[in-house]
């Protein structure tokens, strides 16, 4: 039988684009290593960075709007179909949004050779395309608790817009945009971490002992634990007075800590893939508290921002990306030993980077270098362990529970 050109099957793309979690969780890991390696070369004086933004601005921007946005892309392309029953995005759509994310990274890296407006257009394209697809899927089963992520994604994009408006020369909003982006991702962690951490902990504890005490959630704390981090992000983005923003951020940290206290984290210490979620959320607690105190003049703001960026965002994304990759590939939900080690390295990196800011001087350079080295090691271990999962088909038989 002869097949005509019109009836020929469409060639499939590589398996990496079959699922959003494959390409984006790989990209997040690769960029986590590459961006910090380049940053350390500059901080040690081994290289000059040719970027149009200053090195510090480039570093902050790429960790929030580069690394974290890749993790968000993989998560939403995977989770939203599960929430709504919508068909998963096609491999061509996954490849499209992955290409937009990469175009943004290349544009910022070569910003010195490109018009600032072109850099902005390329870097700002990814989130609207991702968000439009999310809206289409979420409207199949519209629920307020899920639709709120469109609002948060809009805040995230607006934060990036403020950065680019500054880089173009139209405003002086770089600091607002950077902090708004970081605090918006932190708010997403407060929302998502507040859902998955107690739920996955409950499942793990009951598997081991059907009569085990389970995590406790109290509605007033749940409301405060979501509303206050979002309000903190809004205030940061708006450039509100430091005392107001600091007080709200500290209150958000206290609410997050009270939530975490009821989730029975100590009972999960033998199960790394679960306690990593608790560790990431604990870093959110410390980061919000530290940043709030910093704005009130009581601690180092740079140190606090790194607790949020390295500890909360780095730790929680590592925990979620590894868990989703293992589970959606049909494998038992057990973290490989190297990934379990990576879970422990991230909080150490965050605390070391905080210490480098809290005690400047001779310790600053060593602490910054040590924190960066721990971060790179953690994500190298993550990449080595999960690379075969991202690049091979799902096993015929497996357990994705």
102 domain-assigned: yes
Segment 124-149 shows an average pLDDT of 94
Q: What span, in angstroms and rounded, lies between the C-alpha atoms of 51 and 223?
A: 42
Percentage of the chain beyond pLDDT 70 is 96
pLDDT tens readout for residues 266-323 = 999 999 999 999 999 999 999 999 999 999 999 889 999 999 999 999 999 999 999 9
pLDDT of residue 44: 85
- For residue 290, what are the domain limits? 15-390
* Confidence check: pLDDT of 397 > 90: no
How many structural domains are present in the chain?
Answer: 1
214 domain-assigned: yes
pTM of the model: 0.93
Q: Are the C-beta atoms of residues 22 and 365 closer than 8 Å to each other? A: no
pLDDT tens readout for residues 361-386 = 778 888 999 999 999 999 999 999 99
Confidence of residue 396 (pLDDT cuts 50, 70, 90): low
Q: Which of 74-78, 144-148, 208-212, 218-222 has the lowest mean pLDDT?
A: 208-212
Q: Which of 216, 186, 221 shows the shortest CA–CA distance to 198? A: 216
239 domain-assigned: yes
312 domain-assigned: yes
Segment 36-62 shows an average pLDDT of 88
pLDDT tens readout for residues 69-109 = 999 999 999 999 999 999 999 999 999 999 999 999 999 99
Higher pLDDT among residues 86 and 395, named by residue: 86
Kindly report the CATH number assigned to the domain that includes residue 206: 1.20.210.10
65 domain-assigned: yes
6 domain-assigned: no
Phi, psi of 209 (to 5 degrees): -155, 105
Percentage of the chain beyond pLDDT 90 is 81
401 domain-assigned: no
Phi, psi of 254 (to 5 degrees): -65, -45
Confidence of residue 346 (pLDDT cuts 50, 70, 90): very high
pLDDT of residue 11: 55
Question: What is the SS3 assignment for 235?
Answer: helix
User: To the nearest whole number, what is the mean pLDDT of the chain?
Assistant: 92
What HEC string does 67-86 produce? Answer: HHHHHHHHHHHHHHHHHHCC
159 domain-assigned: yes
pLDDT tens readout for residues 227-267 = 999 999 999 999 999 999 999 999 999 999 999 999 999 99
pLDDT of residue 6: 41
* Structure tokens, 86: 């919508």
* Confidence check: pLDDT of 7 > 50: no
* Structure tokens, 235: 């205030």
């Amino acid at each position: 039988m002869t097949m005509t050109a019109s009836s020929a099957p469409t060639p499939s793309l590589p398996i990496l684009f079959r699922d959003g979690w494959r390409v984006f969780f790989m990209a997040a890991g690769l960029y986590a290593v590459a961006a910090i390696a380049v940053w350390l070369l500059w901080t040690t004086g081994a290289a000059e960075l040719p970027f149009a933004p200053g090195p510090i601005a480039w570093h902050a921007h790429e960790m929030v709007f580069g690394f974290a946005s890749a993790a968000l892309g993989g998560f939403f392309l995977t989770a939203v179909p599960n929430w709504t029953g919508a068909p998963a995005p096609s491999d061509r759509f996954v490849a499209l949004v992955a290409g937009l994310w990469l175009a943004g990274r290349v544009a910022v890296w070569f910003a010195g050779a490109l018009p600032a407006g072109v850099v902005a257009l390329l870097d700002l394209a990814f989130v609207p395309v991702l968000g439009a697809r999310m809206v289409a899927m979420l409207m199949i089963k519209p629920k307020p608790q899920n639709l709120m992520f469109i609002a948060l994604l809009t805040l995230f994009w607006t934060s990036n817009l403020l950065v680019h408006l500054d880089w173009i020369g139209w405003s002086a909003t770089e600091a607002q945009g950077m902090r708004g982006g970081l605090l918006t991702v932190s708010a997403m962690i407060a929302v998502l971490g507040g859902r998955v951490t107690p739920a996955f902990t409950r499942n793990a504890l009951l598997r081991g002992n059907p009569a085990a005490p389970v995590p406790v959630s109290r509605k007033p704390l749940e409301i405060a634990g979501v509303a206050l981090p979002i309000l903190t992000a809004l205030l940061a983005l708006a450039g509100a007075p430091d005392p107001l923003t600091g007080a709200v951020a500290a209150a958000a940290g206290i609410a997050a800590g009270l939530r975490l206290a009821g989730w029975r984290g100590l009972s999960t210490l033998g199960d790394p893939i679960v306690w990593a979620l608790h560790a990431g959320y604990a870093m959110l607690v410390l980061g919000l508290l530290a940043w709030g105190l910093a704005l009130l003049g009581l601690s180092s703001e740079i140190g606090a921002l790194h607790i949020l960026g390295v500890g909360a965002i780095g730790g929680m994304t590592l925990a979620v990306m590894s868990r989703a990759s293992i589970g959606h590939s049909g494998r038992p939900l057990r973290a490989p030993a190297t990934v379990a080690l990576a879970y422990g390295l991230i909080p150490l990196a965050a605390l070391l980077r905080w210490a480098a800011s809290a005690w400047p001087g001779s310790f600053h350079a060593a602490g910054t270098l040590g924190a960066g080295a721990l971060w790179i090691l953690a994500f190298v271990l993550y990449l080595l362990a999960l690379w075969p999962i991202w690049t091979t088909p799902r096993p015929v038989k497996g357990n994705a529970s």
